[in-house]
Amino acid sequence: MSLALAFAPLVLLPVVLTLFVKAAAWLFKRTQLGWGHAFGYGVIASLVNMAGMLTARMPGPSIPLPVLAAISLLAVLALGGWYLGPRARTTEGAALRFKRGVVLCLIAWALLCTVSVAIFFAGALVF
């Protein structure tokens, strides 16, 4: 496996998150969100998730994986409220603010999980 392929998930994760955040913004009452802000969230959320993965692989006493997954989800949702809330706009032009930013982020992650599960089962049916 080449070194470039080893780093492909690191490059693709922010791009995939960007696409799902933009789709969630469109689904959430036609919220307006720029591609740059969606990509910014994708990069920051990817870094948070990578930090969680590194924490899970540290030697010694570690945090149980379900607890770490819950902490990671809460962190990216809070990040969505903090980052996307003031940047995403309603159709009237008002900022979403924190709570609705969290909802937007939750929709994006639900879409991501749904598509991931569908791809998993589609792959299981094909192979």
Residue pair 111/20 in contact (Cβ under 8 Å)? The answer is: yes
pLDDT band at 66 (very low <50, low <70, confident <90, very high): confident
Query: pLDDT tens, 79-121?
Result: 999 999 999 999 899 999 999 999 999 999 999 999 999 999 9
The span from the CA of 106 to the CA of 99, in Å, is 11
| pTM passes above 0.75 | yes
N-terminal to C-terminal alpha carbon distance within the chain = 22
- Cα(87)–Cα(120) distance, integer angstroms: 33
Range of the domain at 85: 3-126
Cβ within 8 Å of residue 35, ≥6 positions away? 18, 22
Tokens of 90: 């309603």
Provide the domain count of the chain.
1
